Amino acid sequence: MSKQGLRESSVPYIRLPPNSNHQNVIVLPVYYHRPYDNFPCLRRCIALTAVLLLFSAAVFFLYPSDPALELARLQLNHVGVNTSPKLTLDLSFSLTIRVRNRDFFSLDYDKLVVSVGYRGRELGVVSSAGGRVRARGSSYVNATLDLDGLEVIHDVIYLLSDWAKGVIPFDTNTKVDGDLGLFLFNIPLKAKVACEVYVNTDKQTIVRRDCYAK
């Protein structure tokens, strides 16, 4: 083979003539998006969402809430007004209080206090012994309030007027103070319920009662 033939075979391409309007063109490879490339990000989002849901559930179930009180039963034993030798009041109530623990830990309470009043003035108080209410459970406490020969100093005119009408309005307040045993901590909790009780003096019965939590 001649030298000219060898020289021609070693040239890979023919050089283009120079062009004053020549522009550089960059050709990029085509990138195909693979769907499984987002799997790590998706897994992190799912894990973060699961952690937030678990934390919210733990706060919802473990956050302590005050117990709920309910006047389950109220019975009038007797009521009377004595005008001689001085104005006194005889009153006796029997009550059953329901203490409901809404938490997932047991509730210990020292005592349950029930007071009876007339037109915003306290007439008498009775308290019961303490106890324990299991988690998500209820406990019923019985109490009897007896007021015999209670001298009425204030609101005498209103009491005589209500006695003449045959209906006397009383108000009861029930409260409980306790501690919730949460792991190694004792969290104080309290609850109170108030009721307006209308007593028929002729029939010796309760004609109406309206209760609300405080």
How far apart are alpha carbons 204 and 198 in whole angstroms? 11
Confirm whether 39 is domain-assigned. Answer: no
pLDDT of 29 reads 61
Give the helix, strand, coil percentages of the chain, each rounded to 5.
20, 50, 30
Confirm whether 136 is domain-assigned. Answer: yes
Segment holding 138, helix H or strand E? strand 138-151
Q: Map residue 98 onto helix, strand or coil.
A: strand
CA distances to 142, 176, 210, 214 from 99, in Å? 11, 9, 18, 15
Give alpha helix (H) positions in 26-98.
39-62
Confirm whether 157 is domain-assigned. Answer: yes
Confirm whether 8 is domain-assigned. Answer: no
**Domain boundaries, position 206:** 68-213
Confirm whether 31 is domain-assigned. Answer: no
Beta partners for residue 70, in sequence order:
98
First to last CA, the chain: 114
Confirm whether 192 is domain-assigned. Answer: yes
pLDDT of 6 reads 45
pLDDT of 22 reads 54
* Residue 35, pLDDT above cutoff 90: no
pLDDT of 16 reads 53
Range 52-75 average pLDDT = 76
* Residue 62, pLDDT above cutoff 80: no
Confirm whether 47 is domain-assigned. Answer: no
Q: Hey, CA dihedral for 57, 59, 63, 65, is it positive or negative?
A: negative
Range 124-142 average pLDDT = 90
In CATH, what number is assigned to the domain containing residue 87?
A: 2.60.40.10
* Per-residue model confidence as pLDDT tens digits over 134-177: 988 999 999 999 998 888 878 889 999 999 999 999 999 999 98
| pLDDT tier, 45 (very low <50, low <70, confident <90, very high otherwise) | confident
Residue 64: closest CA among 96, 98, 97, 108: 108
Please tell me the total count of domains within the chain. Answer: 1
How far apart are alpha carbons 203 and 32 in whole angstroms? 91
Confirm whether 32 is domain-assigned. Answer: no
